[in-house]
Protein backbone atom coordinates (compact mmCIF):
# COMPACT_ATOMS: atom_id res chain seq x y z
CA UNK A 1 0.00 0.00 0.00
CA UNK A 2 1.28 3.45 -0.88
CA UNK A 3 0.22 6.20 1.49
CA UNK A 4 0.35 9.85 0.55
CA UNK A 5 0.81 12.46 3.27
CA UNK A 6 -0.45 15.99 2.46
CA UNK A 7 2.15 18.72 2.91
CA UNK A 8 1.21 22.29 3.68
CA UNK A 9 2.65 25.06 1.54
CA UNK A 10 4.63 26.23 4.55
CA UNK A 11 6.15 22.77 4.98
CA UNK A 12 7.08 22.58 1.30
CA UNK A 13 8.64 26.02 1.45
CA UNK A 14 10.66 25.05 4.52
CA UNK A 15 11.90 21.86 2.85
CA UNK A 16 12.90 23.71 -0.30
CA UNK A 17 14.64 26.43 1.68
CA UNK A 18 16.55 24.04 3.91
CA UNK A 19 17.18 21.44 1.22
CA UNK A 20 19.35 23.39 -1.22
CA UNK A 21 22.82 22.01 -1.89
CA UNK A 22 25.62 22.64 -4.36
CA UNK A 23 26.04 19.88 -6.93
CA UNK A 24 29.71 18.76 -6.88
CA UNK A 25 29.80 18.37 -10.67
CA UNK A 26 27.89 21.41 -11.94
CA UNK A 27 28.59 23.78 -9.05
CA UNK A 28 24.95 24.83 -9.17
CA UNK A 29 22.49 25.07 -6.29
CA UNK A 30 19.71 22.50 -6.45
CA UNK A 31 16.97 21.18 -4.19
CA UNK A 32 18.35 18.20 -2.31
CA UNK A 33 16.39 16.72 0.59
CA UNK A 34 18.92 13.92 1.12
CA UNK A 35 22.01 15.10 2.97
CA UNK A 36 25.47 13.81 2.15
CA UNK A 37 25.51 12.06 5.53
CA UNK A 38 22.23 10.32 4.73
CA UNK A 39 23.57 9.38 1.31
CA UNK A 40 26.65 7.76 2.87
CA UNK A 41 24.49 5.92 5.40
CA UNK A 42 22.24 4.59 2.62
CA UNK A 43 25.25 3.08 0.89
CA UNK A 44 26.68 1.57 4.06
CA UNK A 45 23.36 -0.01 4.93
CA UNK A 46 22.66 -1.30 1.43
CA UNK A 47 26.07 -2.74 0.56
CA UNK A 48 25.67 -5.89 2.71
CA UNK A 49 22.28 -6.52 1.08
CA UNK A 50 23.81 -6.22 -2.40
CA UNK A 51 26.61 -8.65 -1.52
CA UNK A 52 24.09 -11.05 0.03
CA UNK A 53 21.89 -10.82 -3.05
CA UNK A 54 24.60 -11.65 -5.58
CA UNK A 55 27.70 -12.82 -3.75
CA UNK A 56 31.20 -11.63 -4.62
CA UNK A 57 32.92 -13.27 -7.58
CA UNK A 58 35.82 -15.30 -6.09
CA UNK A 59 38.74 -13.95 -8.13
CA UNK A 60 41.28 -11.92 -6.17
CA UNK A 61 43.09 -10.56 -9.21
CA UNK A 62 39.85 -9.31 -10.75
CA UNK A 63 38.70 -7.72 -7.48
CA UNK A 64 42.11 -6.03 -7.16
CA UNK A 65 41.88 -4.76 -10.73
CA UNK A 66 38.50 -3.06 -10.28
CA UNK A 67 39.49 -1.68 -6.88
CA UNK A 68 42.81 -0.25 -8.11
CA UNK A 69 41.27 1.38 -11.19
CA UNK A 70 38.28 2.59 -9.20
CA UNK A 71 40.39 4.23 -6.50
CA UNK A 72 42.55 5.86 -9.18
CA UNK A 73 39.48 7.23 -10.93
CA UNK A 74 37.77 8.32 -7.72
CA UNK A 75 40.82 10.43 -6.90
CA UNK A 76 40.40 12.49 -10.11
CA UNK A 77 36.61 12.75 -9.82
CA UNK A 78 34.51 15.64 -8.52
CA UNK A 79 34.22 13.95 -5.12
CA UNK A 80 37.76 12.73 -4.35
CA UNK A 81 37.08 12.83 -0.60
CA UNK A 82 34.64 9.92 -0.77
CA UNK A 83 35.75 6.47 0.33
CA UNK A 84 34.81 4.49 -2.77
CA UNK A 85 34.16 0.75 -2.73
CA UNK A 86 34.23 -1.41 -5.84
CA UNK A 87 33.03 -4.99 -6.22
CA UNK A 88 32.70 -7.65 -8.93
CA UNK A 89 29.56 -9.58 -8.03
CA UNK A 90 28.79 -13.15 -9.03
CA UNK A 91 25.98 -12.69 -11.55
CA UNK A 92 25.81 -13.57 -15.25
CA UNK A 93 23.56 -10.55 -15.96
CA UNK A 94 25.28 -7.86 -18.03
CA UNK A 95 25.10 -4.94 -15.63
CA UNK A 96 26.98 -2.31 -13.67
CA UNK A 97 25.38 -0.09 -11.07
CA UNK A 98 26.14 2.33 -8.27
CA UNK A 99 24.34 3.07 -5.04
CA UNK A 100 24.65 6.22 -2.91
CA UNK A 101 27.82 6.85 -0.95
CA UNK A 102 30.41 5.60 -3.43
CA UNK A 103 29.54 1.90 -3.82
CA UNK A 104 30.02 0.63 -7.38
CA UNK A 105 29.29 -2.91 -8.59
CA UNK A 106 30.13 -4.74 -11.83
CA UNK A 107 28.72 -8.18 -12.55
CA UNK A 108 30.98 -10.89 -13.92
CA UNK A 109 28.55 -10.87 -16.85
CA UNK A 110 29.55 -7.38 -17.90
CA UNK A 111 33.23 -8.06 -17.17
CA UNK A 112 33.02 -11.01 -19.59
CA UNK A 113 31.71 -8.75 -22.37
CA UNK A 114 34.38 -6.05 -22.14
CA UNK A 115 37.12 -6.53 -24.71
CA UNK A 116 39.73 -4.14 -23.38
CA UNK A 117 40.59 -2.08 -20.33
CA UNK A 118 39.41 1.14 -21.98
CA UNK A 119 35.83 -0.17 -22.36
CA UNK A 120 35.83 -1.15 -18.70
CA UNK A 121 37.26 2.22 -17.66
CA UNK A 122 34.63 4.16 -19.60
CA UNK A 123 31.78 2.30 -17.91
CA UNK A 124 33.52 2.60 -14.54
CA UNK A 125 33.70 6.37 -15.05
CA UNK A 126 30.02 6.41 -16.03
CA UNK A 127 29.04 4.70 -12.76
CA UNK A 128 31.31 6.91 -10.66
CA UNK A 129 29.62 9.81 -12.45
CA UNK A 130 26.26 8.75 -11.03
CA UNK A 131 27.83 8.98 -7.57
CA UNK A 132 29.68 12.27 -8.01
CA UNK A 133 26.65 14.03 -9.55
CA UNK A 134 24.45 12.64 -6.73
CA UNK A 135 21.89 11.26 -9.18
CA UNK A 136 20.46 8.72 -6.76
CA UNK A 137 20.13 11.38 -4.07
CA UNK A 138 18.19 13.54 -6.53
CA UNK A 139 15.96 10.58 -7.29
CA UNK A 140 15.21 10.10 -3.64
CA UNK A 141 14.33 13.78 -3.43
CA UNK A 142 11.93 13.36 -6.36
CA UNK A 143 10.57 10.10 -4.90
CA UNK A 144 11.58 8.20 -8.03
CA UNK A 145 12.90 4.92 -6.69
CA UNK A 146 13.70 2.16 -9.16
CA UNK A 147 12.95 -1.46 -8.41
CA UNK A 148 15.40 -4.29 -7.99
CA UNK A 149 15.47 -6.76 -10.88
CA UNK A 150 13.47 -9.40 -9.03
CA UNK A 151 11.20 -11.70 -10.94
CA UNK A 152 8.31 -10.79 -8.66
CA UNK A 153 8.78 -7.10 -9.37
CA UNK A 154 9.16 -7.66 -13.10
CA UNK A 155 6.28 -9.94 -13.99
CA UNK A 156 3.97 -10.42 -11.02
CA UNK A 157 1.12 -8.13 -10.03
CA UNK A 158 1.94 -5.01 -7.98
CA UNK A 159 0.58 -6.72 -4.86
CA UNK A 160 2.79 -9.78 -5.32
CA UNK A 161 5.75 -7.62 -6.30
CA UNK A 162 5.37 -5.80 -3.01
CA UNK A 163 5.56 -9.13 -1.18
CA UNK A 164 8.70 -10.07 -3.12
CA UNK A 165 10.35 -6.76 -2.29
CA UNK A 166 9.53 -7.15 1.38
CA UNK A 167 11.14 -10.57 1.34
CA UNK A 168 14.28 -8.96 -0.05
CA UNK A 169 14.45 -6.54 2.90
CA UNK A 170 14.55 -3.18 1.23
CA UNK A 171 16.57 -3.89 -1.88
CA UNK A 172 14.83 -1.00 -3.67
CA UNK A 173 18.07 0.98 -3.72
CA UNK A 174 19.45 -1.34 -6.39
CA UNK A 175 19.23 -0.75 -10.12
CA UNK A 176 17.98 2.81 -9.86
CA UNK A 177 16.57 3.94 -13.18
CA UNK A 178 18.11 7.26 -14.07
CA UNK A 179 16.60 9.76 -16.48
CA UNK A 180 18.04 10.68 -19.85
CA UNK A 181 19.68 13.87 -18.60
CA UNK A 182 21.42 12.02 -15.79
CA UNK A 183 22.60 9.33 -18.21
CA UNK A 184 23.98 11.91 -20.65
CA UNK A 185 25.81 13.62 -17.79
CA UNK A 186 27.25 10.29 -16.62
CA UNK A 187 28.41 9.53 -20.17
CA UNK A 188 30.24 12.87 -20.18
CA UNK A 189 31.80 12.11 -16.80
CA UNK A 190 32.71 8.61 -17.94
CA UNK A 191 34.64 10.14 -20.84
CA UNK A 192 36.31 12.69 -18.58
CA UNK A 193 37.29 10.35 -15.75
CA UNK A 194 38.53 7.47 -17.90
CA UNK A 195 40.50 9.84 -20.12
CA UNK A 196 42.10 11.47 -17.08
CA UNK A 197 43.56 8.15 -15.97
CA UNK A 198 44.89 7.46 -19.45
CA UNK A 199 42.27 5.43 -21.32
CA UNK A 200 40.74 5.96 -24.76
CA UNK A 201 37.12 6.84 -23.91
CA UNK A 202 35.86 6.21 -27.45
CA UNK A 203 36.00 2.53 -26.56
CA UNK A 204 33.04 3.05 -24.22
CA UNK A 205 30.93 3.99 -27.23
CA UNK A 206 31.93 0.75 -28.95
CA UNK A 207 30.82 -1.19 -25.88
CA UNK A 208 27.34 0.35 -26.09
CA UNK A 209 26.98 -1.36 -29.47
CA UNK A 210 27.89 -4.70 -27.87
CA UNK A 211 25.14 -4.11 -25.29
CA UNK A 212 22.61 -3.26 -27.99
CA UNK A 213 23.46 -6.43 -29.96
CA UNK A 214 23.26 -8.56 -26.81
CA UNK A 215 19.88 -7.13 -25.88
CA UNK A 216 18.55 -7.67 -29.38
CA UNK A 217 19.74 -11.29 -29.44
CA UNK A 218 18.43 -12.23 -26.01
CA UNK A 219 15.27 -10.09 -26.22
CA UNK A 220 15.96 -9.30 -22.58
CA UNK A 221 13.63 -7.23 -20.43
CA UNK A 222 16.23 -4.48 -20.25
CA UNK A 223 19.88 -3.89 -19.50
CA UNK A 224 19.82 -1.68 -16.39
CA UNK A 225 21.68 1.64 -16.41
CA UNK A 226 22.61 1.53 -20.09
CA UNK A 227 19.72 1.04 -22.48
CA UNK A 228 16.43 1.24 -20.58
CA UNK A 229 15.80 4.99 -20.26
CA UNK A 230 18.45 6.26 -22.61
CA UNK A 231 18.83 7.84 -26.01
CA UNK A 232 18.90 5.17 -28.69
CA UNK A 233 22.23 3.33 -28.93
CA UNK A 234 23.23 4.85 -32.28
CA UNK A 235 22.79 8.41 -31.01
CA UNK A 236 24.65 7.53 -27.86
CA UNK A 237 27.46 5.91 -29.82
CA UNK A 238 27.96 9.06 -31.89
CA UNK A 239 27.70 11.38 -28.89
CA UNK A 240 30.26 9.52 -26.79
CA UNK A 241 32.68 9.31 -29.73
CA UNK A 242 32.41 13.09 -30.17
CA UNK A 243 32.89 13.69 -26.44
CA UNK A 244 36.02 11.52 -26.50
CA UNK A 245 37.41 13.29 -29.58
CA UNK A 246 36.70 16.71 -28.06
CA UNK A 247 38.48 15.77 -24.84
CA UNK A 248 41.55 14.62 -26.77
CA UNK A 249 41.71 17.85 -28.78
CA UNK A 250 41.32 20.05 -25.70
CA UNK A 251 44.12 18.18 -23.94
CA UNK A 252 46.71 18.09 -26.70
CA UNK A 253 45.80 14.71 -28.22
CA UNK A 254 47.61 12.56 -25.63
CA UNK A 255 48.33 8.93 -26.35
CA UNK A 256 45.60 6.97 -24.58
CA UNK A 257 45.59 3.26 -23.74
CA UNK A 258 43.21 0.52 -24.89
CA UNK A 259 45.01 -2.56 -23.49
CA UNK A 260 43.07 -5.32 -25.22
CA UNK A 261 45.45 -8.24 -24.67
CA UNK A 262 46.08 -7.37 -21.01
CA UNK A 263 42.36 -7.35 -20.29
CA UNK A 264 41.61 -10.59 -22.13
CA UNK A 265 44.33 -12.40 -20.20
CA UNK A 266 42.85 -11.02 -16.96
CA UNK A 267 39.46 -12.66 -17.60
CA UNK A 268 40.82 -15.94 -18.98
CA UNK A 269 39.05 -18.71 -17.04
CA UNK A 270 36.17 -16.54 -15.79
CA UNK A 271 32.83 -18.31 -15.33
CA UNK A 272 30.52 -17.53 -18.25
CA UNK A 273 26.75 -17.64 -17.98
CA UNK A 274 24.94 -19.43 -15.18
CA UNK A 275 27.10 -21.21 -12.62
CA UNK A 276 25.48 -24.64 -12.10
CA UNK A 277 26.79 -25.01 -8.55
CA UNK A 278 24.51 -22.12 -7.52
CA UNK A 279 21.50 -23.88 -8.99
CA UNK A 280 20.15 -24.21 -12.52
CA UNK A 281 16.91 -24.94 -14.35
CA UNK A 282 16.76 -27.73 -16.92
CA UNK A 283 13.63 -29.26 -18.44
CA UNK A 284 11.33 -27.50 -15.95
CA UNK A 285 13.31 -28.71 -12.95
CA UNK A 286 15.46 -26.64 -10.58
CA UNK A 287 18.62 -28.41 -9.42
CA UNK A 288 20.98 -27.22 -6.71
CA UNK A 289 24.19 -29.31 -6.74
CA UNK A 290 25.76 -27.69 -3.65
CA UNK A 291 22.67 -28.03 -1.48
CA UNK A 292 21.77 -31.36 -3.12
CA UNK A 293 18.06 -30.90 -3.74
CA UNK A 294 15.74 -30.58 -6.73
CA UNK A 295 12.22 -29.26 -7.24
CA UNK A 296 9.97 -28.66 -10.27
CA UNK A 297 9.23 -25.34 -11.95
CA UNK A 298 5.57 -25.13 -13.02
CA UNK A 299 5.17 -25.39 -16.79
CA UNK A 300 5.35 -21.97 -18.46
CA UNK A 301 6.45 -20.14 -15.31
CA UNK A 302 9.45 -17.83 -15.39
CA UNK A 303 12.21 -18.16 -12.83
CA UNK A 304 15.11 -16.23 -11.39
CA UNK A 305 17.89 -17.59 -9.23
CA UNK A 306 20.13 -15.60 -6.87
CA UNK A 307 22.38 -16.72 -4.00
CA UNK A 308 19.69 -15.53 -1.59
CA UNK A 309 16.56 -17.07 -3.07
CA UNK A 310 14.93 -18.79 -6.05
CA UNK A 311 11.74 -17.27 -7.46
CA UNK A 312 9.15 -18.65 -9.86
CA UNK A 313 6.36 -16.50 -11.24
CA UNK A 314 3.19 -17.25 -13.13
CA UNK A 315 3.44 -15.42 -16.49
CA UNK A 316 -0.03 -13.94 -15.89
CA UNK A 317 1.35 -12.23 -12.79
CA UNK A 318 -1.14 -13.83 -10.44
CA UNK A 319 1.10 -16.12 -8.40
CA UNK A 320 4.64 -16.28 -7.06
CA UNK A 321 6.72 -19.07 -5.49
CA UNK A 322 9.76 -18.16 -3.41
CA UNK A 323 12.32 -20.62 -2.03
CA UNK A 324 14.78 -19.34 0.55
CA UNK A 325 16.57 -20.52 3.67
CA UNK A 326 14.76 -19.89 6.95
CA UNK A 327 16.17 -18.94 10.36
CA UNK A 328 15.75 -21.10 13.45
CA UNK A 329 16.67 -24.60 14.57
CA UNK A 330 13.22 -26.22 14.38
CA UNK A 331 10.34 -26.18 11.91
CA UNK A 332 8.20 -24.22 14.36
CA UNK A 333 10.91 -21.60 15.00
CA UNK A 334 11.41 -21.13 11.27
CA UNK A 335 7.68 -20.75 10.63
CA UNK A 336 7.38 -18.17 13.41
CA UNK A 337 10.39 -16.22 12.13
CA UNK A 338 9.07 -16.14 8.56
CA UNK A 339 5.63 -15.07 9.79
CA UNK A 340 7.17 -12.23 11.79
CA UNK A 341 9.50 -11.15 8.99
CA UNK A 342 6.71 -10.97 6.41
CA UNK A 343 3.87 -9.84 8.70
CA UNK A 344 1.93 -13.07 8.19
CA UNK A 345 -0.99 -14.21 10.29
CA UNK A 346 -1.21 -18.03 10.11
CA UNK A 347 -4.72 -19.49 9.95
CA UNK A 348 -3.79 -23.17 9.95
CA UNK A 349 -0.70 -25.40 10.10
CA UNK A 350 0.22 -29.08 10.19
CA UNK A 351 3.32 -31.22 10.47
CA UNK A 352 4.08 -33.55 7.58
CA UNK A 353 6.87 -35.35 5.73
CA UNK A 354 8.02 -34.55 2.19
CA UNK A 355 10.07 -37.28 0.51
CA UNK A 356 11.71 -38.18 3.80
CA UNK A 357 12.25 -34.57 4.94
CA UNK A 358 10.43 -33.36 8.08
CA UNK A 359 8.17 -30.48 7.07
CA UNK A 360 5.53 -28.06 8.31
CA UNK A 361 2.79 -26.68 6.05
CA UNK A 362 0.81 -23.56 6.89
CA UNK A 363 -1.69 -21.14 5.39
CA UNK A 364 -1.41 -17.46 6.30
CA UNK A 365 -2.70 -14.02 5.40
CA UNK A 366 -0.50 -10.98 5.01
CA UNK A 367 -2.59 -8.21 6.54
CA UNK A 368 -1.35 -4.65 6.36
CA UNK A 369 -2.35 -1.47 8.12
CA UNK A 370 -3.40 1.61 6.18
CA UNK A 371 -1.28 4.37 7.66
CA UNK A 372 -3.95 7.01 7.00
CA UNK A 373 -6.99 5.22 8.39
CA UNK A 374 -5.30 2.81 10.78
CA UNK A 375 -7.53 0.03 9.47
CA UNK A 376 -6.39 -3.47 8.55
CA UNK A 377 -6.48 -4.12 4.81
CA UNK A 378 -6.21 -7.43 2.97
CA UNK A 379 -2.84 -8.23 1.46
CA UNK A 380 -1.92 -11.57 -0.07
CA UNK A 381 -2.58 -15.17 0.92
CA UNK A 382 0.33 -17.58 1.44
CA UNK A 383 0.69 -21.34 1.39
CA UNK A 384 4.02 -22.00 3.09
CA UNK A 385 6.11 -25.11 3.58
CA UNK A 386 9.09 -25.27 5.94
CA UNK A 387 11.32 -28.20 4.95
CA UNK A 388 14.18 -29.44 7.14
CA UNK A 389 17.34 -31.00 5.71
CA UNK A 390 19.65 -31.67 8.66
CA UNK A 391 20.46 -28.27 10.16
CA UNK A 392 19.23 -26.40 7.09
CA UNK A 393 15.66 -25.14 6.95
CA UNK A 394 14.02 -24.04 3.71
CA UNK A 395 10.91 -21.90 3.34
CA UNK A 396 8.88 -22.43 0.16
CA UNK A 397 6.20 -19.76 -0.03
CA UNK A 398 3.38 -19.77 -2.56
CA UNK A 399 1.81 -16.32 -2.83
CA UNK A 400 -1.33 -15.08 -4.57
CA UNK A 401 -4.20 -12.67 -4.09
CA UNK A 402 -6.96 -14.11 -1.87
CA UNK A 403 -9.35 -14.40 -4.84
CA UNK A 404 -6.80 -16.43 -6.83
CA UNK A 405 -5.58 -18.58 -3.95
CA UNK A 406 -7.98 -21.54 -4.48
CA UNK A 407 -6.77 -21.78 -8.09
CA UNK A 408 -3.05 -21.77 -7.28
CA UNK A 409 -2.93 -23.56 -3.91
CA UNK A 410 -2.90 -27.07 -5.50
CA UNK A 411 0.03 -26.02 -7.69
CA UNK A 412 1.89 -24.60 -4.67
CA UNK A 413 1.36 -27.92 -2.85
CA UNK A 414 2.46 -29.98 -5.85
CA UNK A 415 5.77 -28.11 -6.11
CA UNK A 416 6.45 -28.44 -2.38
CA UNK A 417 5.62 -32.14 -2.32
CA UNK A 418 8.04 -32.74 -5.20
CA UNK A 419 11.02 -31.28 -3.29
CA UNK A 420 13.52 -34.14 -2.94
CA UNK A 421 17.16 -35.13 -2.63
CA UNK A 422 19.32 -34.66 -5.74
CA UNK A 423 21.27 -37.83 -6.49
CA UNK A 424 21.89 -37.68 -10.27
CA UNK A 425 25.72 -37.57 -10.73
CA UNK A 426 25.36 -35.63 -13.99
CA UNK A 427 23.54 -32.82 -12.19
CA UNK A 428 25.68 -32.95 -9.06
CA UNK A 429 28.92 -32.67 -11.04
CA UNK A 430 27.75 -30.14 -13.66
CA UNK A 431 30.54 -27.70 -14.46
CA UNK A 432 30.13 -24.10 -15.62
CA UNK A 433 31.32 -22.80 -18.95
CA UNK A 434 34.36 -20.55 -18.74
CA UNK A 435 35.94 -17.96 -20.99
CA UNK A 436 38.99 -19.32 -22.78
CA UNK A 437 41.39 -16.97 -24.52
CA UNK A 438 42.84 -18.34 -27.77
CA UNK A 439 45.76 -17.00 -29.81
CA UNK A 440 45.23 -17.31 -33.56
CA UNK A 441 47.90 -18.93 -35.67
CA UNK A 442 46.52 -17.69 -39.02
CA UNK A 443 44.73 -14.63 -40.35
CA UNK A 444 41.06 -15.41 -41.02
CA UNK A 445 37.54 -14.15 -40.52
CA UNK A 446 36.19 -14.21 -36.97
CA UNK A 447 33.69 -16.85 -38.09
CA UNK A 448 36.47 -19.13 -39.32
CA UNK A 449 38.56 -18.48 -36.20
CA UNK A 450 35.69 -19.38 -33.90
CA UNK A 451 34.77 -22.49 -35.85
CA UNK A 452 38.38 -23.70 -35.85
CA UNK A 453 38.34 -23.37 -32.05
CA UNK A 454 35.33 -25.62 -31.66
CA UNK A 455 32.48 -23.10 -31.53
CA UNK A 456 29.31 -24.69 -33.00
CA UNK A 457 27.47 -22.81 -35.73
CA UNK A 458 24.45 -22.05 -33.53
CA UNK A 459 26.68 -20.11 -31.12
CA UNK A 460 28.75 -18.14 -33.62
CA UNK A 461 26.73 -14.91 -33.29
CA UNK A 462 26.77 -15.21 -29.49
CA UNK A 463 30.56 -15.48 -29.55
CA UNK A 464 30.85 -12.62 -32.04
CA UNK A 465 28.95 -10.38 -29.60
CA UNK A 466 31.13 -11.61 -26.75
CA UNK A 467 34.19 -10.54 -28.77
CA UNK A 468 32.64 -7.22 -29.78
CA UNK A 469 33.17 -8.05 -33.45
CA UNK A 470 31.25 -9.06 -36.59
CA UNK A 471 31.52 -12.60 -37.92
CA UNK A 472 32.93 -11.42 -41.27
CA UNK A 473 35.56 -9.23 -39.61
CA UNK A 474 39.16 -10.18 -40.34
CA UNK A 475 41.44 -11.05 -37.42
CA UNK A 476 45.19 -11.22 -37.74
CA UNK A 477 47.54 -14.03 -36.83
CA UNK A 478 48.64 -13.60 -33.23
CA UNK A 479 45.37 -11.96 -32.21
CA UNK A 480 43.55 -13.06 -29.07
CA UNK A 481 39.87 -14.02 -29.15
CA UNK A 482 37.36 -15.36 -26.59
CA UNK A 483 35.65 -18.71 -26.81
CA UNK A 484 33.84 -20.58 -24.04
CA UNK A 485 34.24 -24.13 -22.81
CA UNK A 486 34.09 -26.34 -19.74
Give the residue extent of every domain in the chain: 9-271, 276-428, 433-485
pLDDT value of position 379: 77
pLDDT value of position 166: 42
What's this model's pTM, rounded to 2 decimal places? 0.77
What fold characterizes domain 276-428?
Answer: Protein Transport Mog1p; Chain A (3.40.1000)
From first to last of the 486 residues of the chain, give the pLDDT tens digit: 223 333 333 333 333 344 556 666 655 555 454 667 777 888 888 888 888 888 899 999 999 999 999 999 999 999 999 999 999 999 998 888 888 889 999 999 999 999 999 999 999 999 999 889 876 655 543 332 333 333 333 334 445 555 554 444 333 333 345 667 778 888 999 999 999 999 999 999 999 888 888 877 765 444 443 444 444 556 778 889 999 999 999 999 999 999 999 999 999 999 999 899 999 999 999 999 999 999 999 999 999 888 788 999 998 889 999 999 999 999 999 999 999 988 899 999 999 999 999 999 999 998 766 656 666 666 789 999 999 999 999 999 999 999 999 999 999 999 999 999 999 999 999 999 999 999 999 999 999 999 999 999 999 999 999 999 999 999 999 999 999 998
Q: By 3-state DSSP, what share of the chain in percent is helix, strand and coil, each rounded to 5?
A: 40, 25, 35
Sheet holding 302-305, edge to edge: 302-305, 309-313, 319-325, 392-400, 376-389, 357-369, 344-354
For residue 244, CA distances in Å to 187, 213, 247 come to 10, 22, 5
pLDDT value of position 22: 60
pLDDT value of position 21: 60
450 vs 456: CA distance, rounded Å: 8
467 vs 479: CA distance, rounded Å: 12
Helices (H), ranges, 90-157: 108-113, 117-132, 135-141, 151-155
pLDDT value of position 93: 86
Amino acid sequence: MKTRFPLSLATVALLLFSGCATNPVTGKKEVMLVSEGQELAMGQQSDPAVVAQFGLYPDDKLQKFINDKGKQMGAVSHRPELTYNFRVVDSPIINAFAIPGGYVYFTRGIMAHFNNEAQFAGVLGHEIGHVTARHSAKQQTSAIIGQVGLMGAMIASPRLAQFGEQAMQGMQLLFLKFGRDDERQSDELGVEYSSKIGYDASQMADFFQTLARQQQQSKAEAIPDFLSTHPNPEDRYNTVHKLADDWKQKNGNPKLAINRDQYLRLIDGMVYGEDPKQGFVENSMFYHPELKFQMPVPTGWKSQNTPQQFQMADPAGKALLILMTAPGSTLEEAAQAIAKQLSLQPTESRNTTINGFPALAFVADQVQQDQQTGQQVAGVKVLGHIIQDGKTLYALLGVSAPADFPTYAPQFSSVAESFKRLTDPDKLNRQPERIRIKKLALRSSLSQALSSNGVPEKRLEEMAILNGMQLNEQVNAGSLIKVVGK
